[in-house]
Amino acid sequence: MEYTYHIGMAGIVLALLSGCGQGSQSTTPATLQEFDVMTVAPRDAELYFDHPATVRGQQNVEIRPKIDGYIAEILVDEGAQVKKGQLLFRISNPQYEQEVLTAQAAVKRADAAVNTAKMQIAKTEPLVKKEIISEYELQSAHLELEARQAELAQAKAALQNAQTNLGYTIIRSPADGVIGTLPYKIGSLVSSTSEEALTVLSDISNIHVYFSFSEKQFLELIDNPKDQPIIHDVLKRIPPAQLILANGRVYTERGSIETTGGLINTGTGAIAMRALFPNKAGMIRSGSSATLRIARPIEDALIVPAKATFEVQGKKFVMTVDSANTAHSVEITVNVLPVGDAFVVNSGLHSGDRIVMKDVGAIKDGDKIKPRNQVAITTKR
């Protein structure tokens, strides 16, 4: 009987303790985590197509000698900016100087012969008029003059040719540009058949940027459902291009797409393209590497920040928030090309949906949250 009493008292104590515990839980409200939430709304944006590119000067000219000889003078340095007609090199070859002297002497001799023939005509004409000598002598004198005049013309042509060859010993710049490397030094023997050019002159006032589009990218870029393009308007549809330099900086000048290849490379599936950029300051040099960027504007796109997404088994998700502030994971599909640090949503979201902007890894499907800093991004760019 005493044993039973102790058991009963223990049960009463346990019941009281249990009641106190339940009362304590019911009086403490649950603490909800706060998260930044945004309302998805359509806005304008741009997709960027980036392509590895190579840069070439508008004109790259190999400077080569037309004659054999030794380099006597190098009058420019590597990387120098030169003007059209500026003296670059002198080639030493005494043979051409001697040929000029010889040709000049031949011209003088032929000129003297012409003058002699003219004197003979002047001497013969009065005698013919007085019928002292026959007309035949005068005709012979005229023919002699023509022969000597022909010899004079030939001598002058030879002189001009010799002077032209001598002129080849002086090499001038054929255009404005920048001097490349100088593989030969003073005293080097050079000729028109030398393996290397004396230098390469690059006209970089404008630059050509060469790159390639995949067939799919090209079609996406020119596609416009409102107005199907015709072939001669294709290039006009492509927006101005940007150039990302090797150091990551964006070149200040915009470029235009000039040409496109008529054939698709069957091995790579690419279309060769060329863009033209102004380069008056000479900042970009021929042979540089860069990235060509073309922006494609899109209208009324649903944009979500990259930090608002997470991936599960290769699929992309966001956390939506319903009217009861309950979070739900929703699968979305996005454009392959990001818009900066955000994505263009193709499916899975609708205008007016609310999503968690960041720290989505701290939420589970079905969790209640407390929205904070609710924003609706509707500004069009």
Task: Give the model confidence (pLDDT) of 55-74 as tens digits.
Answer: 988 888 999 999 999 999 99
Last residue of a domain, one of 258, 277, 298: 298
- Three-state DSSP state, 279: coil
Residues 214 and 277 in one domain: yes
Cβ–Cβ < 8 Å for 290, 225: no
Decide if 10 is inside a domain.
Answer: no
Question: Is 42 exposed, middle or buried, given 0-12, 13-18 or 19+ CB atoms closer than 10 A?
Answer: middle
Domain holding 349, by residue range, is 34-44+300-376
CATH number at residue 143: 1.10.287.470
Residues 316 and 355 in one domain: yes
Question: How far, in whole angstroms, is CA 248 from its chain's centroid?
Answer: 14
CATH number at residue 89: 2.40.50.100
| pTM score above 0.75 | no
Query: What pLDDT is attached to residue 58?
Result: 83
Q: pLDDT tens, 191-202?
A: 989 999 999 998
Which residue from 92, 108, 93, 112 is spatially nearest to 159, judged by alpha carbons? 108
Residue type at 108 in one-letter notation: K
Number of domains comprising the chain: 4
Length of the chain: 381
- Three-state DSSP state, 134: coil
Q: Helix crossing, 94-129 with 135-167: angle to 10°?
A: 160
Mean pLDDT estimate for the chain: 83
The C-alpha angle with vertex 216 and arms to 210 and 217, in degrees rounded to 5, equals: 45
How far apart (Å, rounded) are the C-alpha atoms in residues 220 and 273?
15
Cβ–Cβ < 8 Å for 91, 72: yes
Decide if 109 is inside a domain.
Answer: yes
Cβ–Cβ < 8 Å for 166, 99: yes
Which tokens sit at 115? Answer: 């003058």
- Three-state DSSP state, 74: strand
Decide if 259 is inside a domain.
Answer: yes
How far apart (Å, rounded) are the C-alpha atoms in residues 166 and 103?
12
Give the burial string for 53-91 (b: 16+ CB within 10 Å, else e).
bebbbbbbbebebebebebeebebeeebebeeeeebbbb
Query: What pLDDT is attached to residue 380?
Result: 43
Give the burial string for 251-284 (b: 16+ CB within 10 Å, else e).
bebebebeeeeeeeeeeeebbbbbbbbebeeeeb
Residues 370 and 339 in one domain: yes
Last residue of a domain, one of 268, 298, 328: 298
How far apart (Å, rounded) are the C-alpha atoms in residues 113 and 147?
9
Residues 85 and 104 in one domain: no
Query: What pLDDT is attached to residue 13?
Result: 38
Residues 174 and 78 in one domain: yes
Decide if 310 is inside a domain.
Answer: yes
How far apart (Å, rounded) are the C-alpha atoms in residues 99 and 131?
47
- For 83, 296, 352, 353, the CA distances from 303, given in Å and listed in that order, are 52, 15, 12, 12
How far apart (Å, rounded) are the C-alpha atoms in residues 369 and 32?
5
Query: What pLDDT is attached to residue 223?
Result: 58
Phi–psi pair at 9, nearest 5 degrees: -65, -40
Q: Which residues are CB-neighbours of 138 under 8 A, at least 6 positions away?
A: 121, 124, 125, 128
Residues 224 and 174 in one domain: no
Count of Cβ atoms closer than 10 Å to residue 227 Cβ? 8
Strand order in the sheet with 170-172: 170-172, 87-92, 69-74, 189-190
Cβ–Cβ < 8 Å for 358, 305: yes
Low-confidence ranges of the chain (pLDDT < 50): 1-29, 225-231, 378-381
